[in-house]
C-alpha cells in the first residue's frame, strides 16, 4: 500500500470540472469542423450531430480527465478518419502506468472471435489459443466496437482496430473506458471444445513484459526458389530509413535491379506491417511494378490556408496549412478550398518519372489490418489496376482514399488531451466497391495464434501455393 500511495501522489489527480470539460470539447469540435476538408466523407451529418449531442450531455457529469476522454474519443473516432489523433494527457498516461489494474489476458483478434495469446497473474494458466467468448456478458463483437470507439480507424474498417489492439490492446482500452475493476467474469472455449467460466483478477501494468520493438525499417529481399522472390517492405518513412543509415529510393532501386538480374518470375510483396510514411514513396514502389504512370487522385483538397478557432474563454488557435512555396502548388476552388494542381513534382499522378527496371512477372501482395496510410494507398493502386493476387485480410486504410498529410496539432488547455486534425483529403479516381472499407483480398487469410512471419505463416503459405499453380491474371480460383 505505501508504494500505491506514492504512485498516486506522483501522478496528477486529473480532476476536471464540467465547465472546463465543455470548453475543451467545444474547442475540439470547432477544430475538427474547421480543419477537415470533408467531415462528412465517412459519416453522415445526422451521425455527427448525434455524437456531438451525446458528448455534450456527458460533459455535464465529467469530474476527471478519464471521464472526459471517454466522451471525447468516441466523438472524434466516429468521424472515420484514421489519421485523426486523440492523445491522452500526461496525467492519464501516468495513472495508467502506475495505478491501473488491468484485464489479465493478451488477445489475437479475428473475424470470428478473440483468442488468448498470453495470461498474467492468476490467469497465467489459461491455455494459449483458447477463444474468449465473453467478458462480463459482453461478446467479442461488442468488445471490438468498444475498442473502435477509442482506436484510430478509417471509415467502418475493423481489421485495423484488430491489428492495432493485438496483445495488450484490449486490456488498455478496457481501463481507459471503465477504470479499475475488481474482477472479470469470463467465458472461454478451450481447444477441446469445452466451455468454461472463470473469474479472473486484474494485474498491474508492470505484470506484462515490454512490448516488442518495431521491425527493422529497411526493405529486404530474399529468394524463395529460383523463380520466386519475397520482398518485405515494413515502412515508407524516410525518417526511419535515415535513422537506419539507409536511403529509401536507393534501396528500392537496388532491390529491383537484383530482381531483374536474377530473371525472377514471381514476386511476393509483403505490406502487412506497412503503416505508411513519406509521400510519394508508395508511388515510387508502384513505378517498379506498373510501367505506365497514371492519374491516381481525383483531387487533393484542403480548407483555406489559414485556419482559426476560438475557445469559449477567448483563446485563439491558428494554423497555416501551406508555406509560401507550397501555395504555388494549389489553386482555389469556388468555395474557397484549396486544390492541388496536377503538375510535378507531386500533382495527381502516380509518378512523373519512369522507373527502370520494371518487374512484369506474377505478383502476390500480402496485406492486412496494419497496412495503412501510404501502405494502404499502394495496396489500393495495385488492387484498382488488378496488379497482383491479394492474400490476407481487408486492408486497414479505406480503398477510396483518406485524409492525412499535414496535421493541426492542438493541446486542449484544461484536460491536457492532444488532438491532431489531418488537413489534406486524398481522393482516388476509382470507387470503393465496399463503401468505407479497405481493399479486399482474393484469398482471405487472417493471422493465427503463434504465427511467425514466413517460417510459420498461413498467408505466406497460401501465397506459395497460389504461385505453384498456372495463372496469369489474379483470380480467387487459385486460392484453394
pLDDT value of position 6? 44
Q: Rounded mean pLDDT of 71-77?
A: 98
Helix H or strand E encompassing 58: helix 45-59
Alpha helices in 356-404 (DSSP H): 374-384
Tens-digit pLDDT profile for residues 185-224: 999 999 999 999 999 999 999 999 999 888 999 999 999 9
Query: What fold does the segment set 220-296+349-399+434-478 form as a domain?
Result: 2-enoyl-CoA Hydratase; Chain A, domain 1 (3.90.226)
Which of 377, 391, 430, 383 lies closest to 83 in space, CA to CA?
377
Identify whether the C-beta of residue 366 lies closer than 8 Å to the C-beta of residue 392: yes
Tens-digit pLDDT profile for residues 241-280: 999 999 999 999 999 999 999 999 999 999 999 999 999 9
Distance of CA 470 to the CA centre of its chain: 35
Determine the Cα angle at 421 with ends 211 and 372, to 5°: 50
User: What letter would DSSP give residue 64?
Assistant: B
* pTM to 2 decimal places: 0.94
pLDDT value of position 2? 43
CA distance 39 to 45: 9
Rounded to a whole number of angstroms, the CA Rg of the chain reads 24
Q: Rounded mean pLDDT of 33-42?
A: 99
Question: For the ranges 22-31, 87-96, 110-119, 451-460, which has the lowest average pLDDT?
Answer: 451-460
Q: Is the model's pLDDT at 305 over the cut of 90?
A: yes
Q: Rounded mean pLDDT of 297-310?
A: 98
Q: Is the model's pLDDT at 110 over the cut of 60?
A: yes
DSSP strand pairing (228-232 vs 266-270): parallel
C-alpha cell at 19: 465547465
User: What letter would DSSP give residue 60?
Assistant: T
CATH class of segment(s) 98-207: mainly beta
DSSP strand pairing (418-428 vs 85-87): antiparallel
CA distance 278 to 346: 12
pLDDT value of position 7? 47
Contacts of 350 (CB under 8 A, 6+ apart): 283, 286, 287, 290, 293, 294, 295, 296, 381
pLDDT value of position 356? 97
Domain segments of the chain as ranges: 98-207, 220-296+349-399+434-478
Q: Which residues pair with 422 in a beta bridge?
A: 407
CA distance 155 to 417: 23
Q: Is the model's pLDDT at 154 over the cut of 60?
A: yes
Reported confidence tier of residue 480, pLDDT bands at 50, 70, 90: confident
pLDDT value of position 448? 96
Amino acid at each position: 500500500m505505501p508504494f500505491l500511495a506514492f504512485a498516486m501522489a506522483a501522478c496528477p489527480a486529473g480532476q476536471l470540472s464540467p465547465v472546463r470539460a465543455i470548453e475543451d470539447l467545444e474547442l475540439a469540435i470547432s477544430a475538427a469542423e474547421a480543419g477537415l476538408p470533408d467531415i462528412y466523407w465517412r459519416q453522415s451529418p445526422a451521425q455527427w450531430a448525434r455524437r456531438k449531442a451525446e458528448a455534450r450531455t456527458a460533459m455535464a457529469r465529467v469530474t476527471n480527465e478519464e471521464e472526459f476522454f471517454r466522451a471525447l474519443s468516441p466523438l472524434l473516432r466516429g468521424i472515420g478518419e484514421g489519421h485523426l489523433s486523440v492523445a491522452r494527457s500526461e496525467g492519464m498516461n501516468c495513472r495508467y502506468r502506475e495505478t491501473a489494474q488491468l484485464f489479465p489476458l493478451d488477445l489475437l483478434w479475428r473475424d470470428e472471435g478473440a483468442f488468448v495469446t498470453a495470461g498474467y497473474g492468476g490467469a497465467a494458466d489459461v491455455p494459449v489459443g483458447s477463444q474468449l467468448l465473453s467478458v462480463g456478458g459482453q461478446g467479442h463483437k461488442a468488445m471490438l466496437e468498444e475498442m473502435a470507439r477509442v482506436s484510430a480507424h478509417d471509415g467502418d474498417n475493423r481489421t485495423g482496430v484488430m491489428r492495432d489492439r493485438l496483445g495488450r490492446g484490449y486490456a488498455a482500452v478496457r481501463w481507459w473506458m471503465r477504470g479499475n475493476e475488481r474482477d472479470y467474469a469470463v467465458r472461454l472455449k478451450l481447444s477441446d471444445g469445452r466451455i468454461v467460466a472463470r473469474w479472473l483478477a486484474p494485474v498491474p501494468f508492470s505484470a506484462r513484459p515490454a512490448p516488442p520493438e518495431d521491425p527493422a525499417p529497411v526493405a529486404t529481399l530474399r529468394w524463395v526458389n529460383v523463380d520466386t522472390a519475397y520482398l518485405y517492405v515494413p515502412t515508407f518513412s524516410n525518417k526511419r530509413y535515415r535513422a537506419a543509415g539507409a536511403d529509401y529510393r536507393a534501396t528500392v532501386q537496388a532491390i529491383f535491379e537484383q530482381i531483374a538480374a536474377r530473371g525472377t518470375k514471381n514476386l511476393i510483396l509483403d505490406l502487412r506491417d506497412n503503416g505508411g510514411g513519406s509521400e510519394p514513396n508508395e508511388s515510387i514502389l508502384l513505378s517498379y511494378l506498373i510501367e505506365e504512370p497514371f492519374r491516381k487522385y481525383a483531387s487533393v483538397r484542403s480548407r483555406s490556408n489559414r485556419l482559426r478557432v476560438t475557445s469559449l474563454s477567448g483563446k485563439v488557435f491558428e494554423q497555416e496549412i501551406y508555406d509560401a512555396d507550397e501555395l504555388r502548388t494549389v489553386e482555389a476552388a469556388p468555395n474557397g478550398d484549396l486544390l492541388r494542381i496536377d503538375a510535378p513534382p507531386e500533382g495527381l499522378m502516380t509518378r512523373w518519372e519512369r522507373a527502370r527496371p520494371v518487374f512484369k512477372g506474377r505478383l502476390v501482395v500480402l496485406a492486412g489490418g496494419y497496412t495503412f496510410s501510404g501502405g494502404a494507398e499502394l495496396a489500393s493502386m495495385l488492387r484498382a489496376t488488378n496488379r497482383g493476387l491479394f492474400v490476407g485480410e481487408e486492408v486497414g486504410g479505406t480503398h477510396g482514399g483518406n485524409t492525412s498529410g499535414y496535421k493541426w496539432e492542438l493541446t486542449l488547455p484544461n484536460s491536457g488531451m492532444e488532438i491532431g486534425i489531418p488537413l489534406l483529403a486524398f481522393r482516388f479516381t476509382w470507387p470503393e466497391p465496399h463503401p468505407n472499407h479497405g481493399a479486399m483480398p482474393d484469398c482471405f487469410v487472417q493471422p493465427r495464434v503463434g504465427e511467425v512471419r514466413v517460417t510459420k505463416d498461413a498467408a505466406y503459405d497460401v501465397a506459395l501455393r497460389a504461385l505453384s499453380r498456372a495463372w496469369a491474371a489474379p483470380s480467387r480460383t487459385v486460392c484453394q
